[in-house]
Structures are given as C-alpha cells and as structure tokens.
Amino acid sequence: MLITHDTRCALDAVVDLVNTAPEDDGTPDGLPDVAALGDFVEKHEISDVGVLSEFDLSAVRKVRGRFAAIFAEPDARITAGLINDLVAAAGTTPRLTDHDGYDWHVHYFAPGASVADHLAADCGMALAFFVVAGEQERLRRCEAPDCRHAFVDLSRNRSRRYCDSRTCGNRLHVAAYRARRKEAAG
C-alpha cells in the first residue's frame, strides 16, 4: 500500500480523534470544549478551518462517532457504506497538490470546509484506501484489556496487537491487570 505523507497525517488524526471519545469506564471526553478542539486542530495541522465554534465541536463529535463505527466494523461492505456516507456528506472536491515540497498527492476536503467536513473527507478517504487494498483489518483496537484504543496497524505482517501507549503490549502489565481484576472479583 502506498501511504503518502497526507494519508499518514490523516490516519494519525483519525486515530487520535476516535481515542478522544468518552468511555464506559468513566474516561471523560477528550474534546470537552472548543479550546480542546482548537488544540486538536493545531496538533494535527488541519489548515484553513476558520474560527472554531460550539457548532464545530458538536459536528466533530458526530464525525468521531462515525469513525468509531468504521473502526468497529469487520465487514468490508458495511464499512464501504459507512465511508461512502461520511465522505459524501462532507462534499469532497479532490484536487492534486504538491504544497510545501511534498510529492504530488490528493487533498479531498473542499476549500473552506469546516473542521468536521475536513476530517470526514480526508480521514474518510485515508480509511477508504484500506478497504480498496483489502486491508481493512489493519484498522484495529488495542488488545490490552484496559485500553481498547483505536490504532492503524502499518506493520508488514499485520501483527501489531497493541496501541502506541507506553504500557500496552507490556505482557507484565496485562498480567498485572488480570490479577487485579481477579482479586477485585474474588
């Protein structure tokens, strides 16, 4: 699979976005307010989205839910439908660009798109290529029992089981968690 710099950035952004979702275990929303959305936009260098508002925040949270569903869906046909709907709603206008010294690549977001539409278009297409390549299984959830973060497995043999978090994938950590669970249950 050819992964251009923008695809890589879009993948980082979508993984980060999905992982800001509040969780059942009491983990609070990682995008609690417009300022947090501003930090996210800055971190991922999402260009040209104008002044952010409460409307943007709620729109981005909706898009986040749709991306989470895509990461959770094992069936390619259903995933394709989810991505089609997401990308269509964002009003994409694909155009070639070689900005900032990068090789030719395609931007999907429409000029002046809101941050939610920008994410839906570019991240949606980044995920679409995994379906095209028959490699949708690379869109994963961390197997550490107390994590379940979304990540994209770009390893050659698709063998990655854990996210980038420092503790995940540390077998001792997982074993300790299971022991604590058992103790709490028993």
Can you give the binding site for Zn ion, defined by CB under 5 A?
Answer: 6, 142, 144, 147, 149, 163, 165, 168
Q: How far is the CB of 137 from Zn ion (least distance, A)?
A: 17
Q: Please say which residue, 59 or 126, places its beta carbon nearer to Zn ion.
A: 126
88, 100, 72: which is closest to 9 by C-alpha? 100
Residue 153: φ, ψ to 5°: -85, 105
CA geometry: angle 104, 109, 111, nearest 5 deg: 100
Residue 161 to residue 18: CA distance in whole angstroms: 17
**Given the complex with Zn ion, which of 67 and 162 has the nearer CB atom?**
162
Minimum CB distance to Zn ion, residue 169 (Å): 7
Q: Shortest gap between Cβ of 81 and Zn ion (angstroms)?
A: 27
Closest separation between CB of residue 5 and Zn ion, Å?
7
CA-wise closest residue to 7 among 148, 168, 133 = 133
Backbone φ and ψ of 107, nearest 5°: -95, 135
Q: Toward Zn ion, which CB reaches closer, 140 or 149?
A: 149
Q: Closer to Zn ion by CB, 127 or 163: give it.
A: 163
